[in-house]
Amino acid sequence: TQLLEQSPQFLSIQEGENLTVYCNSSSVFSSLQWYRQEPGEGPVLLVTVVTGGEVKKLKRLTFQFGDARKDSSLHITAAQPGDTGLYLCAAFQGGSEKLVFGKGTKLTVNP
Amino acid sequence: DTGVSQNPRHKITKRGQNVTFRCDPISEHNRLYWYRQTLGQGPEFLTYFQNEAQLEKSRLLSDRFSAERPKGSFSTLEIQRTEQGDSAMYLCASSLRTSGRRRETQYFGPGTRLLVL
């Protein structure tokens, strides 16, 4: 079973700060997804990265897929309280349709 | 709202009771997935359907758990003889499988939070 390790597990920052969270594995993935989950809700897909070295931007969020397609990072610029949530990375396991998730990074942005 | 819906949103039950959850996927989606999420963890895959056929089941899905999708539309997840360890958020997701190799996006519902006392 491939394991997705996310770090840090918790992050509490002030509004306006920048941050980076990481998703690492020893396995190679054909693609990797990032989700955000708010308390009491289901995860919402933010982005899918497919190509090694790929960088995708979503407003103040920048996603990068490692060259070897084993790891990914999410960078948030000038964080806002609305960015608060659980950020999860996920990938499909082998040839199955099963999505495997990391444990997530719980981000709190204080006003 | 045309997203994935789940009912009930919350369920409190006593140990040993049976519970059933319902998931209504996005209307044209032919695939439906069930996941379980415990506190401090990411979602864990339980099972999935393509139309009415259950194609994959996780080892997490013990014989007390059964899922159905009788007409290929909504799905139910039943837990018999609930245990305290069953307390979790049960998430449903759906997707539209088309031809080709690219995996399609799974859209998640808001979940049903189960508490077993």
Closest approach of chain B CAs to the CA of A111, in angstroms?
24
State the DSSP H helix or E strand holding residue A39, giving kind and residue range, or none if neither: none
Top pLDDT among A9 and A40 is at A9
pLDDT of residue B102: 65
pLDDT of residue B40: 87
Cβ distance B85 to B79 under 8 Å? no
Which amino acid is residue B114, in one-letter code? L
User: Average pLDDT in the B36-62 region?
Assistant: 92
pLDDT of residue B61: 85
DSSP conformation class of B100: S
User: Average pLDDT in the B14-36 region?
Assistant: 96
What are the angstrom distances between the C-alpha of A74 and each of A25, A52, A102, B105? Answer: 15, 15, 14, 19
pLDDT of residue A2: 57
Q: How far apart are alpha carbons B79 and B60 in whole angstroms?
A: 12
DSSP conformation class of B103: P
Query: Which pair of tokens denotes residue A86?
Result: 């659980």
Query: Which pair of tokens denotes residue B94?
Result: 């759906």
User: Would the CB atoms of B106 and A92 count as touching at under 8 Å?
Assistant: no
Partner-chain residue, chosen from A45, A88, A98, that has the shortest CB–CB distance to B45 = A98
**Which chain A residues contact residue B41 at CB under 8 A?**
103-104
Cβ distance A109 to A83 under 8 Å? yes
Average pLDDT over chain A, rounded to whole?
Answer: 93
**Which chain A residues contact residue B88 at CB under 8 A?**
none
What pLDDT band is residue A81 in, cutting at 50, 70 and 90?
A: very high
What pLDDT band is residue B71 in, cutting at 50, 70 and 90?
A: confident
Cβ distance B34 to B108 under 8 Å? no
Closest approach of chain B CAs to the CA of A104, in angstroms?
6
Tell me: pLDDT of A94 over 90.
no
Partner-chain residue, chosen from B31, B41, B103, that has the shortest CB–CB distance to A92 = B103
Top pLDDT among B2 and A51 is at A51
